[in-house]
């Protein structure tokens, strides 16, 4: 509460200063992407709209923001922003959490389609190369309207780099090093654009040893290795736009166990471990129907293979998942200010068990959803956005007999769902806007929640599903306030989310095969909270940014020891002081230095029944960074960023760390360096007459 009072005090001071600048035009803060910005297009909940007109809280994390962050994966990078957190398993695996909800409630969209791996698992990360992500759009709140089931908490939309200008080709080399886990990585990118044909290819590699902290020393088996390739060829005609993309991703992380368990089992060095391979092919097409609008057709195929090894030669758990995605949208021309969007999308899935151990049953899945959205500026700076959607998901689980006993039962379920959203955004003053949105979300239970029955290596538990679970349905109210001026930018977003039949894991109190049993249960829940961010820039080059985020997640009508939902992020206060030196922009540009205080308050709102969770004490981390861009003859030739994380080598537990229950602390002091070398040259002599290299 003390932190909240201080935040309110700074907000009040900032608003007082801001009132003196009421005539300033709206502009984007370099630190907080949630502030208003005319001209920036975001997906929103009703199709592409300008950021100021989107009533749902949306954060745009720019390429420059991502370059200044030293992270081990893309989810780790975006978790520094208000309202976003991560469930971690060591330094190599991160799962996104938006406003207290994660797992299958957060959808990750890459290459225009939903990423489909094994996201139901605690230690299953996102199979995406962070080096190939140019920017990130985060929708905080139900986005089922555009994506159907699994977007109950929100969506992370990972954007590709923009195409190279016509007549050019570029080669980028990105490299980095982190001292704590001896992590090194590099990424080589080649892209071009000539005579309506575009192409892009990227190869990335990453290797990390065991990370360390001052309590546990080196954390055994926390090493990981990653390889990724992404290629694209495309054609841009007068009426047809078509891209064909291929992605390969391979991750080999160790499985960290509690120290006493690892000693008792005496497993071979670097065991147990996982092998994750993800293949994806995407065909992205758009047809200009002249006076009738646009037709967008997106088709994709994904294959995910996840294996867990206790011995180096033979996998125990072995999941193979095939997914076919489809998305067809018709966008008619604007009529009397109404912009509409009609679509049909969904997927087909089949999953098989190829190993000798079993956790979830094999299954087939098919879903489809139809939707319609619309946007309109009713009067000057009063913007309406909304739509409605209907989904139908069919899932069939196959029976399996293990040593004559029925391990999984044969069952089929059908899950219908209705989603919708309506919101208003109104610019009261030239630099002050308010937003209001109400959204209905939908999520069908996943196969793990319905049918799991087995021990999951590294989770330290035996999981049991429930085939009678109902779909989750939510109603969320959002209220936002945004202000921008020359001296101060301020953004505040408050929300309340009621979720019917909320599904979560609860410790049951018994054991199977010497492992505590956790079973999926559900109940009605309420999540409420919000985020506030303020950026002060009193003089040129100096910037003070401070943000606070909080969520309270409860199961309704329960006793004190069982009313809080598990894995709810702790309150967080993040403050950054940054100075950009006003140097002559000849050789060195954007030379900055910053210091950061990252304060995580204690999380005492935990699920205590049967020791499902434990409380997490507060901790504060000190970080710093500096960097610059270097130019020669007006050409960008080099960017360098240095950072230091957890400078005081604080021993701490993140409340969302899966290793906390095994007594393993998070990463200690870590020094980082990141280097980008861009090379751009002309392949079309005619283009040189009209363009300049920047």
Question: Smallest Cα–Cα separation from 345: which of 324, 314, 375?
Answer: 324
* Contact status, residue 161 vs residue 134, Cβ threshold 8 Å: yes
Mean pLDDT of 190-200: 93
pLDDT of residue 119: 87
pLDDT tens digits for range 210-250: 999 999 999 999 999 999 999 999 999 989 999 999 999 99
pLDDT of residue 478: 95
Mean pLDDT of 162-181: 92
Inform me whether the pLDDT recorded for 89 exceeds 50: yes
pLDDT of residue 258: 66
Percent with pLDDT over 70 in the chain: 89
Pull the structure tokens for residue 632.
């020669």
Number of residues in the chain: 694
DSSP string for 277-344: EEEEEEEEEEEE-GGG-EEEEEEEEEEEEEEEESSSSSEEEEEEEEEEEEEEEEEPPPBTTBEEEEEE
What domains lie within the chain, and their CATH numbers? 2-689 (2.40.170.20)
Inform me whether the pLDDT recorded for 528 exceeds 60: yes
* Contact status, residue 351 vs residue 362, Cβ threshold 8 Å: yes
- 120 dihedral zone (left: phi>0; alpha: psi -120 to 50; beta): alpha
Reported as type and span, the H/E element at residue 85 is strand 84-89
pLDDT band per the 50, 70, 90 thresholds, residue 25: very low
Inform me whether the pLDDT recorded for 599 exceeds 90: yes
Mean pLDDT of 391-396: 96
Beta pairing partners, 10: none
Higher pLDDT, 482 or 3: 482
Inform me whether the pLDDT recorded for 49 exceeds 80: no
Mean pLDDT of 295-316: 91
pLDDT tens digits for range 348-358: 999 999 998 89
Pull the structure tokens for residue 91.
């330094």
DSSP state of 540: T
* Contact status, residue 145 vs residue 112, Cβ threshold 8 Å: no
**Mean per-residue pLDDT of the chain:** 87
pLDDT band per the 50, 70, 90 thresholds, residue 52: confident
pLDDT band per the 50, 70, 90 thresholds, residue 260: low
Pull the structure tokens for residue 470.
């109902």
Mean pLDDT of 409-419: 95
Percent with pLDDT over 90 in the chain: 63
User: Which burial class, exposed, middle or buried, applies to 683 when counting CB atoms under 10 A from its CB (0-12, 13-18, 19+)?
Assistant: middle
| Whole-number Å distance between alpha carbons of 145 and 407 | 37
């Amino acid at each position: 509460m003390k932190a909240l009072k201080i935040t309110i005090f700074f907000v009040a001071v900032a608003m007082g200063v801001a009132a003196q600048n009421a005539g300033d035009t709206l502009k984007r803060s370099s630190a907080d992407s949630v502030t208003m910005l005319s001209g920036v297009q975001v997906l929103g909940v009703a199709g592409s709209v300008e950021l100021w007109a989107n009533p749902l809280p949306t954060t745009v994390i720019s390429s420059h923001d991502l370059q200044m962050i030293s992270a081990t994966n893309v989810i780790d990078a975006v978790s520094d922003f208000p309202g976003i957190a991560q469930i971690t398993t060591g330094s190599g695996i991160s799962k996104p959490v938006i406003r207290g909800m994660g797992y299958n409630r957060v959808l990750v969209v890459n290459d225009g389609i939903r990423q489909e791996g094994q996201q139901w698992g605690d230690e299953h990360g996102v199979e995406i190369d962070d080096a190939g992500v140019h920017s990130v759009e985060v929708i905080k709140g139900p986005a089922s309207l555009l994506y159907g089931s699994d977007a109950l908490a929100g969506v992370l939309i990972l954007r590709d780099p923009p195409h190279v200008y016509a007549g050019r080709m570029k080669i980028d080399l990105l490299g980095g090093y982190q001292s704590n886990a001896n992590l090194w990585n590099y990424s080589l990118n080649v892209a071009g654009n000539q005579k309506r044909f575009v192409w892009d290819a990227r190869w990335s590699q990453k290797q990390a040893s065991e990370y360390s902290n001052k309590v546990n020393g080196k954390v055994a088996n926390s090493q990981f290795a990653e390889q990724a390739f992404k290629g694209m060829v495309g054609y841009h005609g007068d009426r047809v736009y078509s891209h064909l993309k291929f992605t390969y991703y391979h991750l080999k992380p160790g499985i960290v166990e509690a120290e006493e368990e690892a000693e008792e089992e005496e497993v071979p060095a670097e065991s147990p471990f996982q092998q994750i391979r993800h293949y994806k092919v995407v065909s992205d097409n758009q047809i200009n129907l002249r006076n009738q609008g646009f037709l967008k057709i997106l088709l994709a195929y994904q294959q995910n293979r996840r294996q867990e090894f206790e011995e180096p030669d033979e996998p125990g758990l072995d999941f193979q998942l095939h997914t076919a995605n489809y998305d067809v949208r018709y966008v008619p021309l604007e009529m009397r200010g109404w912009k509409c969007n009609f679509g049909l999308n969904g997927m087909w899935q089949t999953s098989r068990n190829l190993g000798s151990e079993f956790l979830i049953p094999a299954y087939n899945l098919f879903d489809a959803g139809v939707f319609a959205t619309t946007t309109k500026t009713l009067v000057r700076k009063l913007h309406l956005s909304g739509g409605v959607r209907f989904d139908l998901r069919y899932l069939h689980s196959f029976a399996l007999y293990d040593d004559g006993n029925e391990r999984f039962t044969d069952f089929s379920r059908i899950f219908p769902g209705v989603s919708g959203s309506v919101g208003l955004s109104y610019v009261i003053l030239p630099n002050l806007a308010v937003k209001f949105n109400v959204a209905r979300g939908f999520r069908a239970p996943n196969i793990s929640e319905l049918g799991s029955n087995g021990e999951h290596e590294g989770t330290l538990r035996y999981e049991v599903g429930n085939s009678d679970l109902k779909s989750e349905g939510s109603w969320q109210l959002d209220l936002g306030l945004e202000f921008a001026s020359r001296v101060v930018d301020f953004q505040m977003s408050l929300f309340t989310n009621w979720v019917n039949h909320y599904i979560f894991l609860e410790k049951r109190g018994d054991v199977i095969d010497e492992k505590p049993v956790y079973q999926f249960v559900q109940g009605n829940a309420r999540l409420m909270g919000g985020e506030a961010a303020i950026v002060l820039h009193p003089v040129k080059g100096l910037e003070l940014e401070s943000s606070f985020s909080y969520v309270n997640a409860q199961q309704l009508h329960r006793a004190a020891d069982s009313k809080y939902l598990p894995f709810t992020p702790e309150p967080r206060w993040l403050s950054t002081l940054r100075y950009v030196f006003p140097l002559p922009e000849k050789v060195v540009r954007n030379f900055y230095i910053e210091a950061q205080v990252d304060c995580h308050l204690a999380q005492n709102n935990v699920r205590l029944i049967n020791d499902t969770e434990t409380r997490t004490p507060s901790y504060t981390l000190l970080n710093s960074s500096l960097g610059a861009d270097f130019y020669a003859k007006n050409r960008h030739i080099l960017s360098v960023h240095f950072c230091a994380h957890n400078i005081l080598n604080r021993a701490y537990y993140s409340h969302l760390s899966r290793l906390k229950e095994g007594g393993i602390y998070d990463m200690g002091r870590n020094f980082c360096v990141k280097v980008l070398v861009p090379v751009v040259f002309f392949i079309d002599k005619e283009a040189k007459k009209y363009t300049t290299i920047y």
